[in-house]
Structure 1
Amino acid sequence: MMRDRVEKKLIDALSPTYIEVVDESHQHSVPVGAESHFKVVISSESFEGQRLLARHRIIYQLLKEELEQQIHALALHTYTPKEWELLQNGAPDSPACRGGSRLG
């Protein structure tokens, strides 16, 4: 499964204190089983001193192959352990799909 592959790559590279990889493909206009839309919530010491854009670039580089081959959309919520601890309600929900008609 693509979700498992993404999660493993991120765990191996970033040793997160928290990670959640959610396949949100079913909420979008893609064929059933497409595994193409994901939400990643991750807290890692690796993000200390990094701005948001740098954090996202790290993840894009780690998942370069998956993004080129199968992943169409990737919602990223990246935190340091301290930032994650301060969040009261966790990461925000993903927005509703704005695509056309649903397939499959």
Structure 2
Amino acid sequence: MLPTTARSVQCAVRLIRTMAANQITPPGPVEVAIHDKLTALLHPSQLTITNESHLHRHHAAMRAQGGGSGESHFAVQVTSDSFKGKNTVQRHRMIYSALADEFAQGLHALSLRTRTPEEAQRLAAQ
């Protein structure tokens, strides 16, 4: 077990790293492509894209990617009428198809939350 001062320093360093990782930075080319393609395809009433790549930089597969943009992991929340009548798998396939080029160029993971406006309203009312 670390002495109290060493633990305090370790916690402070971790906090500083977290704060630095959460600073607002301009979107990179992959994030811009995701935004543009999903907007064109789905005409969403709500679209939130969160770059979570910094949480995965220590993974061996991400280090091996080398000279890429470093944009590898995203969480996407999208609300669109285009999802009406489609189940979750069909919705996700729509998005994966639209982003095929990004996956081929190093996009590694996409966490999706897809809803119709009615589903979003029901959830907001709960």
Structure 1's unaligned 5+ residue stretches are 90-104
Amino acid at match of 1:78: T
**Count of aligned positions:** 88
1:10 to 38, 45, 54: 38
Shift of 1:68: 1.2
TM-score normalized with structure 2 length: 0.65
Q: Which runs of 4+ in 1 moved over 3 A?
A: none
**Is 1:72 the equivalent of 2:111?**
no
More helix by share: 2
The higher-RCO structure (CA 8 Å, 6+ apart) is 1
Structure 2's unaligned 5+ residue stretches are 1-27, 64-68
* Partner residue, 1:63: 99
Q: Deviations over 1:45-94 (max 9, x none)?
A: 000000000000000000011011120000011000111122239xxxxx
1:46 to 77, 82, 90: 82
Q: Secondary structure at the match of 1:16?
A: coil
Larger Rg: 2
Following the alignment from structure 1 to structure 2, what is the Cα–Cα distance between the partners of residues 85 and 68?
35
TM-score normalized with structure 1 length: 0.79
CA RMSD in angstroms, aligned pairs only: 1.6
